[in-house]
Amino acid sequence: MRLDTSVQKLKGVGPRAAEVLAAKEIYTVGDLLRFYPVEYDLFTEPEPVAECAPGSLCTLRLLIIGKGSTFRKGARVMSHFEGSDGSGRVRLTFYNMPYVRQTLTAGAAFIFRGILRSTGAGSLYMEQPRFFSDVQYQRIRGTLQPRYRQIKGIGDGRMRTLLGTAIEETEGIRDDLPDDLREQYGLIGQREAVRTMHFPPDRESLQSARRRLIFDEFFSFIIGIRRQKSREGERSNPRPLKIGTGQKMSFPDRSLSGGWCEKLLQSLPFTLTQEQSRAWDEIRADLTGPLLMNRLLQGDVGSGKTILAFLALILCAENGRQGALMAPTEVLARQHMEGFTACMQKAGLPVRAVLLTGSVKGKARKEALQAIADGSADVVIGTHALFQEAVTFRDLSLVITDEQHRFGVRQRTGLADKGEKVPVLVMSATPIPRTLAIILYGELQVSSLRELPPGRQPIKSLAMQDSQRGRAYRFILSEIKKGRQCYVICPAVEEGEMQEIENVSDYTEKLRASLPSGLRIASMTGRMRPEEKTAVMDDFSAGNTDILVSTTVIEVGINVPNATVILIENAERFGLSQLHQLRGRVGRGQEQSYCIFLYSGKEKPERLAILEQSSNGFYIAEQDLRTRGPGDLFGVRQSGLPQFSLADIYEDADILKEAAECADRVLSRNPDYHPAQERVVDYSTI
């Protein structure tokens, strides 16, 4: 079986399973094999309660005290039990599992594993712990169990079976690296690495498997870049755009002699900042010039990148050609669509945009695809749905990716492959250090927006202990009284996405209970269906919601100028860049905005101190690189730049350098080299 074989061909994958897999972007056997565990559970010896740190994953051997209680709370059945090991007591809570009562009987002992938490008052509890009898635990003690991102209907057990089959079926695929280079860089075999990731015998093997796969991700990425470059030859622009031609003949308005872009600029309620103007000059010069555009537009959150993307798309449309704008999330794509459509209406420009995301279905999807294929859509705005096979562009001449650090490598190259030589503009709020940018992108040109539009007041940021939550709530309330809106961010819990929902909905309930009634509080999680998310976001944008409780799904690019406060719970669990991105959800209008970081624990984390002092994204990115420790294999990744499935260009910078060197050596031996692992290229050499 080849890596690009459809997962449907795999034993055990029917049409339904294929559908849920596709929702997680698993289309091929290779995609499945790259669906690496998010973390590994090491089944450690039980520890005494008194020695466990709240907030961490703990293994406890507890004796059940008393009968426990089961009751209904809202739509849920809750069960509580008390457990003790002599050194301390822990309350064990289960949702919708009334039957555990039959097992967790008074006097019986079990091994419980879960995140140990502490209530404000200092008593300890665990929610939804997994539990085992002594005999059961004896069997798995000391082993590593992979845990996967949850997929509806495919639990970890079934996932392992599928992966087992996929590994067996692909056993024969040859290694991408010649033996001598593999040895020289101290890498284990590729198939072995894949197997070890999913079925790790021990930690050491896992380390070398991970190193090999990270190497491969960088390696194939760099091979792809190098080849693209050589294929592009002089990288000449095959069909430069023209300014102000109004080539779309069906549009007779003569007042547009200054061009459509000029017309749009005149209709805006603001003028471009100096930096925006300069960046637009650069982008326009690329599009109309002799060399193919390959440009990174970087600018802090709120620096006004979107309007530049719109200008580029309009220039393209004016020349009768198609442009695509790709966003990393459904919500953001929709927001761009609305923003774009509103701009076109206001400016009176005849540019037709269509939206193409995963939730555009049925007739609407068919129509959108048709419009893209026959060219009646000038602009296509969407998510990763944009590069699925079925999408054929009539004349794709510009690809823009927003928040590019959020996309996988495959996704970016995938879209660029839809057109022959397509100018590419990537926009990012997370600047990449220059040295890395050169390895990764080579000839990439960079435009930077280093100032924010005028009239913005810097966001006031404050980090406080979570015992001060009451103060924070009072502050939120005072802002809402002024007619403003507020975000509250809860971290996604490591325990899996079911608990993420529990977390957000529990939090929302608590928030409701502690604030005056009558406030309009909504919540949103990554697990909601795209339509639901959109509805919640729309309500919030329209000002119908006072407080939006959410996980980091709102992190990327959302723009609601009336939101002036963002409260981030458990801020210590987020990475620096991520916190900065989250903070950027406010401070988008004329009003003074605030960001409150709540942290648990006694000491203020250094990251939060940096954020209190600075709001400069470029500075923060540097600090991020500096403060980040070595990769935490067993922890949850908090990377600000998840470009690859496993690799992180900051943490794995050393491997990146080696992989770049190795790629160049391989190409010097064989300029036509194609790795089997490479994504979205032809696999003919396998």
Give me the sheet containing 445-449, strands edge to edge. 353-356, 379-382, 322-326, 396-401, 424-428, 294-299, 445-449
530 or 557: CB nearest Mg ion: 557
- What residue ranges bind Mg ion (CB under 5 A)? 557
Cα-based distances in Å from 375 to 346, 354, 380, 392, 416: 23, 11, 10, 10, 18
Binding partner at 270 among Mg ion, ligand ADP, none, C-beta below 5 to 8 Å by kind: ligand ADP
Token code pair at residue 371: 């419009």
Rounded distance, CA 449 to CA 431, Å?
11
429 or 656: CB nearest ligand ADP: 429
Q: C-beta of 156: minimal distance to ligand ADP in Å?
A: 37
37 or 299: CB nearest ligand ADP: 299
User: C-alpha angle with apex 570: 550 to 499, nearest 5 degrees?
Assistant: 55
Token code pair at residue 103: 């097992």
Determine whether 29 is exposed, middle or buried from the number of CB atoms within 10 Å of its CB (0-12, 13-18, 19+).
buried
Binding partner at 505 among ligand ADP, Mg ion, none, C-beta below 5 to 8 Å by kind: none
Binding partner at 559 among ligand ADP, Mg ion, none, C-beta below 5 to 8 Å by kind: ligand ADP
What is the sign of the dihedral through the CA atoms of 174, 177, 183 and 186? negative
DSSP 51: G
- Separation of CA 80 from chain center: 35
Nearest to 314 by CA among 289, 278, 339: 339
What HEC string does 403-428 produce? CHHHCCHHHHHHHHCCCCCCCEEEEE
Binding partner at 323 among Mg ion, ligand ADP, none, C-beta below 5 to 8 Å by kind: none
208 or 559: CB nearest ligand ADP: 559
Rounded distance, CA 273 to CA 278, Å?
9
117 or 305: CB nearest ligand ADP: 305
Q: C-beta of 270: minimal distance to ligand ADP in Å?
A: 3
Binding partner at 33 among ligand ADP, Mg ion, none, C-beta below 5 to 8 Å by kind: none
User: C-alpha angle with apex 46: 43 to 47, nearest 5 degrees?
Assistant: 130
Rounded distance, CA 639 to CA 226, Å?
26
114 or 557: CB nearest Mg ion: 557
Q: C-beta of 46: minimal distance to Mg ion in Å?
A: 48
User: C-alpha angle with apex 202: 197 to 203, nearest 5 degrees?
Assistant: 80
402 or 652: CB nearest ligand ADP: 402
- Separation of CA 244 from chain center: 38
Q: C-beta of 521: minimal distance to ligand ADP in Å?
A: 25
Q: C-beta of 312: minimal distance to ligand ADP in Å?
A: 13
491 or 557: CB nearest Mg ion: 557
Q: C-beta of 449: minimal distance to ligand ADP in Å?
A: 7
Report yes or no: 25 and 51 within 8 Å, Cβ to Cβ.
no
556 or 646: CB nearest ligand ADP: 556
Q: C-beta of 557: minimal distance to ligand ADP in Å?
A: 6
Binding partner at 549 among ligand ADP, Mg ion, none, C-beta below 5 to 8 Å by kind: none
Q: C-beta of 186: minimal distance to ligand ADP in Å?
A: 42
Q: C-beta of 567: minimal distance to ligand ADP in Å?
A: 20
355 or 659: CB nearest Mg ion: 355
Q: C-beta of 72: minimal distance to ligand ADP in Å?
A: 45
Rounded distance, CA 510 to CA 368, Å?
43
Q: C-beta of 303: minimal distance to ligand ADP in Å?
A: 4
Binding partner at 614 among ligand ADP, Mg ion, none, C-beta below 5 to 8 Å by kind: none
Residue position matching structure tokens 């419980």: 112
Binding partner at 645 among ligand ADP, Mg ion, none, C-beta below 5 to 8 Å by kind: none
- What residue ranges bind ligand ADP (CB under 6 A)? 270, 272-273, 276, 299, 301-307, 429, 453, 557, 559, 561, 588
Q: C-beta of 25: minimal distance to ligand ADP in Å?
A: 24
Binding partner at 498 among Mg ion, ligand ADP, none, C-beta below 5 to 8 Å by kind: none
426 or 666: CB nearest ligand ADP: 426
User: C-alpha angle with apex 426: 423 to 395, nearest 5 degrees?
Assistant: 35
408 or 617: CB nearest ligand ADP: 617
Binding partner at 273 among Mg ion, ligand ADP, none, C-beta below 5 to 8 Å by kind: ligand ADP
Token code pair at residue 226: 């190098």
What HEC string does 535-562 produce? HHHHHHHCCCCCEEEECHHHCCCCCCCC
Token code pair at residue 425: 């503009």
What is the sign of the dihedral through the CA atoms of 537, 539, 542 and 543? negative
Binding partner at 541 among ligand ADP, Mg ion, none, C-beta below 5 to 8 Å by kind: none
Binding partner at 276 among ligand ADP, Mg ion, none, C-beta below 5 to 8 Å by kind: ligand ADP
Report yes or no: 511 and 549 within 8 Å, Cβ to Cβ.
yes
